[in-house]
Structure 1
Amino acid sequence: MIDLYTFTTPNGRKVSIMLEEVELPYTVHVIDITKGDQFTPAFVAINPNSKIPAIIDRTTDMTIFESGAILIYLAEKTGKLMPLDQKNRFLILEWLMFQMASIGPMFGQLNHFKRFAPEKIPYAIDRYEKETLRLYGVLDSQLAKHEFICGDYSIADIATFPWVAAYEFQGLTLNHHPNLKRWFETIQARPAVQTGMNVPSRNA
């Protein structure tokens, strides 16, 4: 059994999607970051960086934080969504790191300055919107050559999808990136993705 500590953010959604895709049983523990739950001593003991998501695998007594590390762990645990051969494994790891180093930080800054900052700063909004659109272009070019980011559906797609799913929230469109839009709609139709994107429920 997996204990999943999560909230309604793109990084949290990555792990719930992955758990649904690999069909592992899990229990959801809501860490409401709007109320400061992530700073409680109990959660800091799980993740010293006070960020969601995190998991505890009760069958192996493993506690893991950082969403990318969790995806790799679950892929290795189940033998799914990440190949064993070195060439394809590192291709997936490249694009997973691309999501974590570029897509997450840049999209996240756009979310902050466009939707949450107490003061609208045009320079910051323009900077992060341009970078978000540039990254859309990188993905679109890669997806012009492949059905999924690395050819077959993998943890690279799972990591990236919840961030791209925020495009309407950011006031953007995928219409100018047809390959990215096609990929988004394909993944959005997956039952495991639909379930995982609603964990935890917004009514929880």
Structure 2
Amino acid sequence: MKRAPRADAQRNRDRLLTEARVAFLANGTDASLEDIAARAGVGVGTLYRHFPSRETLLEALLRERFDALTERARELADRPAPREALVTWTLAFIETTTVYRGLTAAMTATLRDETSALHASCAAMRDAGTTLLARAQSAGEVRADITPVEFLTLVAGVSWACEQTSGGESAGERLLPLLFEGLERRRGNARSPE
């Protein structure tokens, strides 16, 4: 039976998460782990005991957000308008991935690294979004010739662009319609088979 953490260890973990959230909001995902530990009033060794890597710290902060986004895709899969469901999920994805500057790049790298602490949450989120894409393609509401990898690359590009501007969520709301205009199924816009 797994023993509950000591009260002081739990307090240290909670303080580290609080300070990491503040540091990542202010400085992005590359914020200094040493500074986070100092601000939490613990040594860097304590930080690494709780979070052996930057990815495990990010995973602890973001797991709930990623799981909520995965669940949101599952809820949207039952909607009668597949394109609208995909747009809604994509905007939520952009809002989630731009919470910390640098998160889009970290997530992209994580999806290629199955050993990363963030991989499982990111992969589940990716797979849920891919299901929405396939549904919109089957309904003829989105181009059938775009692959899930291409779609997610485009969405990551919009997320990255939003990170670079001060527009935040509103930047995503402006860029997303442009992305989906390019994804619309039109006669003659499909790529010829190679």
Band of TM-score, shorter chain: 0.3 to 0.5
**Greater fraction of residues in helix:** 2
Instruction: Name the TM-score, length of structure 2 as normaliser.
Output: 0.34
**Greater fraction of residues in strand:** 1
Which one has more relative contact order, counting CA pairs under 8 Å at least 6 apart? Answer: 1
